[in-house]
Homo-oligomer: A and B are copies of this chain.
């Protein structure tokens, strides 16, 4: 189909797509360099690696903003294109416009400022002193507002920044979802805090890290990870990256938290499985690229939460755990409880359970939004942060290191990224519901070890579309409905009400 479309396409289309393929390959190369830096590179390699990555990024930017790209796009504005071709042009146009509207001086200034911000943030966190980070954070906010203003002077600057991570969901929708999470989960979390229920935990003691790695490979085998097109490594901050031919997973191991390692592995598998499900014959075209962060995160969360934290998963997988770790005793039900315990006193986002996680996000979203709108001074961040934790989670950080300095994102100048984590979870529930609606008794199949039924459905309904549809279109296409928090809230309420006897 794609080939046919290409044959009929206007010359400008072919030229544009060809040019874009080069850009996409340069960006892919940069992704390999990042993977290597996180996973393989000796520490002393940093100075060279920074320069290599910055050369790739500047070459990619130059190619994207070449005059002829604008000319091709102009030519194609009224051309007679197929739906797929229109999608390709839409995606390239969006990237072109965002790159073209921001002066390169500003791009360079932001890049320098983030290089400066990162060590300041690290130092501030180590010293537990927000004032070390505050001045550079203030500068970054100003620069990012300027950046947003270049892209769209008439828009809410936070909305413009949010669109760097999630271009197609409007901020109002996102905000409504996050508000519902806050309004409906806070009382649920309160109830859990007050409940007397004690969940089981068969995973106490020490778990050999090499054996945990074997087990992580077992999990990936069980889920059907394609080792011909992937690999597993460890990284301090687990991530997944690559393309449809080579999508790699990283995880990390803590001798005392084996369940965290399974879950992190399954989460990254979800990302990688999305990437591997992108159409191979569209490699280098937007049709062979994934939709943005909300959809990507929906895939990782679906596998992590709806599969990995389910009862049937533990029925299926606990024997494999016991084989690797004979010290583990207990029933699948107990393992299920352990995988779903709400950590009432946890202050750290990346260690949060499925439920309280969203309150960590809401805090960040509300604060960064006010920072960008100019409604909150940087110096007041620590207090507001702590107040919100108290309000939403009933706990108050005792210092900024475990409070507003815990995440790296702002030091990268990433404002508008956080919400996509929660939006992804919410979407995961909606997609999982559609999947069950479509294929029937998924639990039965998981119990039989048939995870392909899930992967195949996701591939057909989500992955294989690449960036053919915008996020709302893709959600509609895959689930038959507009984006809504209903499914997630129902799922979470039912699950935790039952778990905690509420």
Contacts and interface: CB of A to CB of B under 8 A. Distances in A.
27 contacts: A21-B51, A22-B55, A22-B58, A25-B51, A25-B52, A25-B55, A25-B56, A26-B52, A26-B55, A26-B56, A28-B48, A29-B33, A29-B53, A29-B56, A32-B32, A32-B36, A42-B227, A42-B228, A42-B229, A43-B228, A44-B226, A48-B243, A48-B245, A49-B246, A51-B283, A51-B284, A59-B59
A59 B245 CA distance: 22
A237 to B, nearest CB: 19
Given A32-B33, A55-B22, A48 B244 contact: yes
A59 B26 contact: yes
Contacts of A243: 48
Nearest to A231: B42
Contacts of A26: 52, 55-56, 59
A246 B284 contact: no
B52 A29 contact: yes
Contact of A40 (B21, B59, B231, B284): B231
A46 interface: yes
A236 B283 CA distance: 29
A41 B246 contact: yes
Consensus secondary structure, chain A interface: helix
A440 interface: no
Interface string A283-299: 11000000000000000
Contacts of A22: 55, 58-59
Interface in A52-91: 52-56, 58-59, 63
Nearest to A228: B44
Q: Which of A36, A48, A231, A243 has the most CB of B within 10 A?
A: A48
Given A28-B52, A49-B245, 4 more contacts: A29-B56, A32-B32, A43-B228, A47-B245
Nearest to A24: B55
A230 interface: yes
A45 interface: yes
Given A29-B55, A55-B25, A56-B26, A48 B283 contact: yes
A47 B280 contact: yes
Nearest to A39: B40
Contacts of A231: 40, 42
Contacts of A33: 29, 32
Interface string A132-169: 00000000000000000000000000000000000000
A465 to B, nearest CB: 19
Across the A-B interface, the 6 shortest Cβ-Cβ residue pairs: A45-B246, A25-B55, A44-B229, A48-B245, A44-B228, A25-B52
A36 to B, nearest CB: 6
A280 B28 CA distance: 27
A80 to B, nearest CB: 29
A227 B43 CA distance: 9
Nearest to A47: B245
A436 B58 CA distance: 47
Contacts of A55: 21-22, 25-26, 29
A496 to B, nearest CB: 39
A42 B230 contact: yes
Contact of A46 (B44, B47, B245): B245
Interface in A232-250: 242-246, 248
Contacts of A58: 22
Nearest to A288: B48
A21 B47 CA distance: 14
Contacts of A28: 48, 52
Interface string A1-41: 00000000000000000000110011011101100100011
A309 to B, nearest CB: 28
Given A32-B32, A56-B26, A59-B22, A44 B246 contact: yes
Contacts of A245: 44-49
Given A29-B56, A59-B22, A42 B284 contact: no
